[in-house]
Each structure stands twice: as C-alpha cells, then as structure tokens.
Amino acid sequence: MKFSILTTLAIAATAVAQPLLFKRDNTTERANVTATHIEQDESDNNDLQTSYGSHYALFQPKVVVISMFELERDPWLESLDFKHNITLPGLSPIYPTVHCTTNYSICQVTTGEGEINAAASITALSLSPLFDLTKTYFLIAGIAGGMPEYTTLGGVTFAKYAVQVGLEYQIDPREVEKTNPDWNTGYFAYGTKNPFTYPKNVYGTEVFELNEKLRDRAVDLASKVELDKGTKQNAKFRALYKEEAAKKEPFIAKCDVLTSDNYFSGPLLDEYFSNFTKLMTNGSGIYCSTAQEDNASLEALTRMDQYGLVDYERIVVMRTISDFAVPPPSMANNTVKFFTEADQGGIGASLTNLVKAGLPFVHDVIENWDDVYEKGTKYVPDNYIGDIYGTLGGTPDFGKESFGVA
C-alpha cells in the first residue's frame, strides 16, 4: 500500500488539532502520555506546546528496524514478510518508504547515510501522524568498522554508549609535529588547547547512553545463534592480527560505537579516538566500532521522547563489523594502502549477521509483547539513559556538572 502526500497532509492537519502537552516529569521515572486541552484561564504563559500525538495514527509497530543504506536494508527485506510500503514526506529521497509486515507489527526504515540524513529521516518518521511509536522498540542495525582489540570481521557489537568524535577542532597534523611534538593528533576538543583535555564547550550530542538492561537482553538472545563465519579470505585476514579478538570467528561483544561523518582509518586516529571515548565517558566507554549515524539518530529520538512520541528506553544499537579500522602489523607502515587496497574478504558476513543477531530480539519483542514488552517494566534501566545534558531526566554518569553551550 502507498499513501499519497495529500492523504498524509490531511491526516496531519487533523492530528495537529488535538495537541499533546509535554509529557515527561523529571521527578518520576516515566510519565504517561495523555490527551489534554489548553486551559486558557489557568495558563501562566503564552507557550503552546503541540505534537501530532497518536489518536489518529493508523499504525502502531511493536518494532522498527533502522537501516542506513540499501545493503543493510536488503537482508531484512529478504528475511521478513514485509507486505506494505508506506511513503512518508521527509524521508530520504532515495529511501522514501517504510516497509511493514502484514499486521504492521514490524516495520523497517532506511535513513540514508551520514548524520544529517539519519537525523532528518528519524525526525520525519517520528513526527508522521500515520505512526504511533510511543511503545515501539527501535533496533538500529548497521555495519561498521571494527577495532581488533575487541571484535573481528563479521562480529556483532551492542553499544551502551554512542560517542560523537567529529565535534572537535582540527589542525593538519603536519602543522603540529614541530610545534607540539607531544600531540598524537590534530584533533582537540572545543574550548580546549590540547588533545588531552575534556571539552569546555559542548553541543549536546557528544555522548548518548542507552538502556543497559535492554542491551544485555538483546546480547543474551543474539548469543544463542550461530553467526555467519564469513569467507576464507576473511579468515586469512583475521589471522594477520596479533589481538586475540581479531583472530576469532565472529562473536557477540558488548562495546561502544563512535559516530563521525569523516570516514577515518589508521592507528594514530584509533589511539586518539579510543582515548577520547574514555575521556567523554569518564573511563567507562569501550570504543570498538566506527559508524556515521548513531548519535544523530539518538538525538532525534531524544527530542521525540521529550514530547512523548517515542520511548528512549526502548532503543538498541547494534553494529556488525564489515572491516577493520586499523591495519595488521604487516601493513602498519602503509595505512593508505591498507585502506584502499587490502582485501579483507568482503562484507557479506557483516550483512548476514545483522539479521542473524538482530532477529532474535525482534522475535522476542513480538512473542512476549503482552507479558513483557508492552509495559516495559521488566527492562526499565538501572543506569542513566540519555544525552550529556540530562534532557530526559536524571543525572548523567559521564561528563561534568556544567558546560559552556557552544
């Protein structure tokens, strides 16, 4: 089925006529979403807070799988019985369609690659009056570069933290070598004068923390399946590394994802961003995968949670490893050749393992919806969740008490 733009706009106009007020009370763990009206006689300000709400929504998916481009999307389309195609205004021009199963319990959306595409597409989906996402579970499922210390080709990683590493100053390292020989990079955080200092100024999207209890549930489920081991060349390339994790066949790992529009590679940037991850998470983050979208998607979902359109507690971020982000010892002296010419064996296992590792969580939500997942009380997080500002309530267990907002 395909909805026209005119139909969508007509429903949107109707939905806006029934606003929802801001739903989160920071003094409680979760506040319910309820329809209300504006009490003009009792109002002490002139702020009108509205959202589309859910009263006119046609679809209430239990799970939405978020892919970033077609190679990540296609394994899901081939594995599940997606019968409905719903075109939404605001999605990527090359991925304008949400795919849903027969009863709309599972849907899939493709954002387009990079931070801007991800933020725009997730915002468009969340604001669509056709969808009620207030109880939906989101599985962000994409491929990524991997760190040989913690994962391997075809491996699967589930994140607690997403750290944005592109929001920094940058000077060409060739201009740094002579004047600052103790620097190992040309990057340094906003408001600072060296690469070793926590940022004084932040934009708010630098770090997101996810529901650890839900992440662990997804890990437990994924750990019970047999992963695709990849090609013979994957195995040969793994053997070139000295790290034990890199040498292994694909496995499930709990470790964290970096977000950067800049597609980086090499041991120097790896060392810096690993240190930056620990700096930004007060030493608790473990950088193991590199991606281009996750902080952007999480920022959009955070803003939607603020107004009751989604539930940030119900997000899982999974990245499978398509390639190593640093060369093996035999190629350590030529990162450019490693990046542009090395045959790592192909990315097939990482694509196959998106579904192999992600589908158990999707099925678990569907099969145990009534008893477990609809109310969500079993997996209410024990850890802080949200951004560096504490937007969704609670106190971040990373960062510092105050920042300059750049």
Taking residue 53's Cβ as centre, other Cβ atoms within 10 Å add up to 22
- Residue 176 belongs to a domain: no
What pTM value is reported for the model? 0.87
Q: Domain of residue 389: give its range.
A: 63-167+203-405
- Residue 195 belongs to a domain: no
Place of tokens 């899982």: 316
Domain count within the chain = 1
pLDDT in tens, 160-200: 999 999 999 999 999 999 999 999 999 999 999 999 999 99
Q: How confident is the model at residue 406 (pLDDT cuts 50, 70, 90)?
A: low
Residue 381 φ/ψ, nearest 5 degrees: -70, 145
Average model confidence (pLDDT) across the chain: 88
- Residue 56 belongs to a domain: no
Percentage of the chain beyond pLDDT 70 is 85
pLDDT in tens, 9-40: 444 444 433 333 333 343 333 333 332 232 33
Cα–Cα distance, 253 to 145 (Å, whole number): 14
pLDDT of the residue at 362: 99
Name the β-bridge partners of 157: 253, 319
Place of tokens 């962000």: 140
Q: How confident is the model at residue 46 (pLDDT cuts 50, 70, 90)?
A: very low
pLDDT in tens, 320-346: 999 999 999 999 999 999 999 999 999
Residue 4 scores a pLDDT above 90: no
Residue 211 scores a pLDDT above 50: yes
- Residue 191 belongs to a domain: no
Residue 158 scores a pLDDT above 90: yes
86: amino acid identity, one letter: I
Name the β-bridge partners of 257: 162, 289
What does the DSSP assignment read for 269-336?
A: HHHHHHHHHHHHTTT---EEEEESSHHHHHHHHHHHHHTTSS-GGGEEEEEEEEEESS--GGGTT-HH
Percentage of the chain beyond pLDDT 90 is 83
- Residue 267 belongs to a domain: yes
Cα–Cα distance, 145 to 143 (Å, whole number): 7
pLDDT of the residue at 54: 59
pLDDT of the residue at 41: 36
Which range, of 21-25, 117-121, 236-240, averages the lowest pLDDT?
A: 21-25
pLDDT of the residue at 399: 84
Would residue 89 be called left, alpha or beta, if left means φ above 0 and alpha means ψ between -120 and 50 degrees?
beta
Place of tokens 């030493």: 283
- Residue 319 belongs to a domain: yes
What does the block give as tokens for 205?
């999207």
Place of tokens 């991925």: 95
Contact 24, 308 (CB under 8 A): yes
- Residue 189 belongs to a domain: no
- Residue 301 belongs to a domain: yes
Would residue 112 be called left, alpha or beta, if left means φ above 0 and alpha means ψ between -120 and 50 degrees?
left
Q: Residue 348 belongs to a domain with what CATH number? A: 3.40.50.1580
242: amino acid identity, one letter: K
Mean pLDDT of 129-156: 98
